[in-house]
Structure 1
Amino acid sequence: MRAGELAAPYPTVDLSTPVIDAARLMAAENLPGLIVVDGDRPVTILPGTQVLQLAVPGYCQDDPALARVIDERSADLFVRNLGDRTVAEALPQEHRDLPVLEPDATVLEIAAVMARSRSPLVAIAEHNGPLLGVITLDALLERVLA
């Protein structure tokens, strides 16, 4: 089976999308991250952990024990720290390279790229072309374990 046959539609966001909307999309669809596009071309991945890094106060990241002193009601509202920030602001300074493969890639190529990049998502696109679909780790494992 080739990548083009395994690829499926997948939600995307662009750099100007409010990060709170991206977080809501991840939660609603139970996604580990989103593909960030520029027009119709895949650019990078916005991992859910990066959204958390932007939302969780720095002092709690530096010392998680400090999070315990915040009352439960206030702690439940930490995502409000996202405010009006955009996906562009949520991405690390050096964007995470998005694993992109062409539609004729084999299942082993997909697995190798996922393993090397430690990404649960691989975008499928022709060279510098529009996003054709995405292969998730779940879909890959389902295929190879069938």
Structure 2
Amino acid sequence: MRARDLVSDFPTVTLNTPIVEAARLLADQDLPGLIVVDERGLPLSIMPGTQVLRLAVPGYCQEDPALARVVDEAHADRFLRSLAGKAVREALPREPRELPETDPDATVLELAALMARTRSPLVAVVDDGRLLGAVTLQALLDWAVAA
């Protein structure tokens, strides 16, 4: 089994996409993350859904989870509203990390190793300068468990 056998079309966003729009895309399509592309449509980064949460959840709640409990429920339920006016670029790590990207000939073990090493729930598959789509952790595990 190769990446070409597991790849599927996958939505993309740009650095300037509003983060609220990206969050809506993640939620509406039950996606583990999004591929951030440049002006040519080639991957720049993978943005796991957890990065959106990291931007939305106040730092004090991330550092001390007990503080999240003292926020009243009405305010806690609206924490994503803090993302208004922010773009995808703000959800990405400041220091560039290894891009989880491969070619269509990558084996399942290569895909799994790349996901594990980069802690990414998806891998962008690029062939001949063109984004083909992504292999998701779910697709990889579905195949591996059935094999």
Q: Percent identity?
A: 62
Gaps of 5+ in 2: none
Q: Is contact 1:45-1:97 (8 Å) kept?
A: no
| Residues paired across the two proteins, number | 145
* Equivalent in the alignment of 1:137: 137
Task: Give the CA RMSD over aligned residues.
Answer: 1.4
* Equivalent in the alignment of 2:122: 121
Aligned to 1:104, the other structure's residue is in SS state: coil
User: Shift of residue 145 of structure 1?
Assistant: 2.4
Moved over 3 A (4+): none
The correspondence of residues 1-146 of structure 1 with structure 2, limited to 5 A, is: 1-39=1-39, 40-126=41-127, 129-146=129-146
Superposed CA offset, 1:64-105 (max 9, x none):
211222111111111111121000111110133221111111
Q: Is contact 1:45-1:96 (8 Å) kept?
A: no
- TM superposition score normalised by structure 2: 0.91
Distance 1:9 1:72, change over 3 A: same
Aligned to 2:139, the other structure's residue is in SS state: helix
Gaps of 5+ in 1: none
User: Shift of residue 130 of structure 1?
Assistant: 2.1
